[in-house]
Amino acid sequence: MRDGFRCSAESLLRDETLAGTASTVRPFLLVENPGPWGTDAVRDARISPPVKTALAAAANAARVRILLIRRHHRRAPRQGFRVFAAWAHASSPWLESAELDDAADLLDLDLAALGRGQSPGLAPYSGQLFCVCTHGKHDACCAERGRPVAAALSAAHPDDTWECSHIGGDRFAANALVLPHGLYYGRLDEVSAISMAGAQLSGQLDLDHLRGRCGLPMPVQAAEIALRRELGETRDDAVRARGRTVDGQLSTTRFEVAGSAYDVQVRTTRGPEVRRLTCTALRDNPIPRHEVLGIRRI
C-alpha cells in the first residue's frame, strides 16, 4: 500500500458520486464468524478446509455471495452460529435465518435454490439487517471508517447490526448493506448511519448516502436515484423499475411512480481518468461514470 494513501479520502477529494456503484448481486449467504478475517474472508476463515472449499465451490456455481458476519464486540456465540440467506430482489426481497451447530451443516443448505431466488432450507426472518463492512485485511479504509459506524449502529440497533466482510466499493467507506432490500450505502459516519437506519426502519431511503440497489444493474441504480431526487421521493416501495433498453453506452430505464411512468436515460462510461481505486491496488483503473441525460414523464 502506498505510504499514507487512503482510497476513501482520495475518492472524496475528487467528488466521486455514489450513485450507481452498488455491487450487482441478488443471492447472499451470511455466516456468523467472529474472525479474525484474512484478506479473502472465506478462503482464510477458521473453518475446516474441506467444508469451506466445498461451500465456496457451491456458492460460486450458484452465484451466491458469501459474507462473513460478526457482532461488533467479536465474541464468539456460546453455542452454534447464526446464518442468514437473503434474496435482494428489487421488488420482492426476502430473508431467512437459522442457528447451526456445526460448520459442516452449511453444506446441507441448497445454495442452487438460493441462486434461483428460492429458499435454501432456512426459516423466514421478518427483520432487516444493517451489515457494515469492517474488513480491514481487505482494505484499511473499511476498518478505519467502518468500525466507528458499526459501533454506533450496534449501540442503537443491537439485534439488527452486524459487521461484515468485503462488500465492494472500498473507496466509499464506511459502507453498509441493508438486507433483504439490497441497498448499499456509502460515506457513512456515526451520525449519518443512525439517521440512515432510522429512515430504513420507517420505509424511507437516505438519498444522500445511497449507492444503489444491488438487485439492479448499475446504470439503473443511478437512474433510480436521479429520479427519486427529481421527484423528492424517498419511500422505498414508491419507485419500481419496469423495463430497460440498452444501446451501447446509453441505458434507458422505465420506472413506475404513483401510477405514472418515467423514462430515465443514462450514459455509462469508463475513463479516460484513471486512479488507484483501493488502498491495496497495484495499478490505476478507469473510474466508471453514470451521466443522467434526461428524465421524461410518459
Per-residue pLDDT band at 35 (split at 50, 70, 90) = confident
The confidence score (pLDDT) of residue 78 equals 65
Q: Is 29 exposed, middle or buried (0-12, 13-18, 19+ CB in 10 A)?
A: buried
- Average per-residue pLDDT for the chain: 95
Which residue has cell 460448520?
103
What pTM was estimated for this model as a whole?
Answer: 0.95
Show the cell assigned to 136.
480491514
Judge contact between 204 and 234, C-beta under 8 A: yes
The confidence score (pLDDT) of residue 272 equals 80
Q: What whole-number distance in Å separates Cα of residue 63 and Cα of residue 119? A: 15
286 has a pLDDT exceeding 80:
yes
* Residues 73-91: b if buried by 16+ CB within 10 A, e if exposed: eeeeeeeebbbbbbbbbbe
Mean pLDDT of 175-200: 98
- Percentage of residues of the chain with pLDDT beyond 90: 91
Mean pLDDT of 23-46: 94
pLDDT in tens, 95-114: 999 999 999 999 999 999 99
Q: What whole-number distance in Å separates Cα of residue 251 and Cα of residue 96? A: 34
Q: Is 195 exposed, middle or buried (0-12, 13-18, 19+ CB in 10 A)?
A: middle
1 has a pLDDT exceeding 60:
no
Spell out the domains of the chain, with CATH numbers in brackets: 1-216 (3.40.30.10)
The confidence score (pLDDT) of residue 282 equals 85
pLDDT in tens, 57-97: 999 999 999 999 999 987 665 679 999 999 999 999 999 99
Show the cell assigned to 294.
434526461
β-strands 129-133, 161-164: how paired? Answer: parallel
Judged by average pLDDT, the poorest of 177-181, 254-258, 279-283 is 279-283
pLDDT in tens, 128-149: 999 999 999 999 999 999 999 9
pLDDT in tens, 174-185: 999 999 999 999
How many beta carbons lie within 10 A of that of residue 4, not counting itself? 6
The confidence score (pLDDT) of residue 81 equals 95
Q: What whole-number distance in Å separates Cα of residue 106 and Cα of residue 271? A: 42
How many beta carbons lie within 10 A of that of residue 43, not counting itself? 12
Question: In three state form, how does the secondary structure of 197-255 look?
Answer: HHHHHCCECCCCCEEEECCCCHHHHHHHHHHHHHHCCCEHHHEEEEEEEEECCEEEEEE
β-partners of residue 179 are: 129
